[in-house]
Amino acid sequence: MLNVATGTKWVLGNWKMNGRLASNQALLAALLTDAQVNVAHVGLAVPTVYMAQVAQTLSGQPMAWGGQAVSRFAADGAYTGEVSAAMLADLGASFTLVGHSERRQYFAESDEVLSAQIRHAREAGLLPVVCVGEGLAAREAGEHEAVVAAQIDGVIAALQGSERVVVAYEPVWAIGTGLTASLGQIVAMHEKIRACLLEKLASSCTILVLYGGSVKADNAADILALSEVDGVLVGGASLVAEQFSKVCYGAAK
């Protein structure tokens, strides 16, 4: 899962802290009946408490699933409340988000913590999807490229030797604010991210740059049509089957 052909546009949904058993089952049932959604380049990042439900429901299906975060600790032990990469893999996860803007903001996850998460995810056979992005102050000050480049530099050592590196760009100022990044802004930042990664990683490494700033059913097709965008990370729209399906249709074009 998530082992798809080069050039295929990825769609990853992030449920964040949402869901209940009944609504999850109804959403998954709707998605699984759609041939353009239940495919290998579509995945869902789900809350820890619902992983067993999602793992069972998606068992044998092309659609992938993964975690929204992972512990910086690899070994089992006295780390109350933590979920290790090995635990995610044990349930059948194929990826995990790392460094989502909300984790950086609310849980103060540092480059050191994120690097440990990346290393442990890779060791467990999970694909780390590394999130980067700038706030409104940095964007308005013209420091957005420097901020994102620094975030990449902070974890680049943990990505060395990867066959595939996936980075999701989240303009934090465009998440849940009503503000929207223009297509030109998206292209420019994706080009910068790809250049930073190519400069520091082996040329044989496959690099995918996803966009994750308030992706919705009505803007996904235009974003996914950009050659610099390898896929999208979808928040609220991934909780509504009709909206998420429309995003996936945009990826299939």
Phi, psi (5° rounding) for residue 6?
Answer: -60, 135
Distance from C-alpha of 96 to C-alpha of 68, rounded to nearest angstrom: 6
Q: For residue 181, give the amino acid letter.
A: A
Active-site pick, 41, 100, 120, 190: 100
231: β partners: 10, 210
What is the three-class DSSP state of 240?
Answer: coil
Q: Is 100 a catalytic residue?
A: yes
Distance from C-alpha of 101 to C-alpha of 129, rounded to nearest angstrom: 12
Residue 234 tokens read as: 């979808």
Distance from C-alpha of 115 to C-alpha of 122, rounded to nearest angstrom: 11
Q: Report the chain's terminal Cα–Cα distance, integer Å.
A: 20
| Closest residue by Cα to residue 121 from 48, 70, 45 | 70
Active-site pick, 120, 134, 170, 190: 170
Q: Is 228 a catalytic residue?
A: no
The catalytic site residues sit at 100, 170
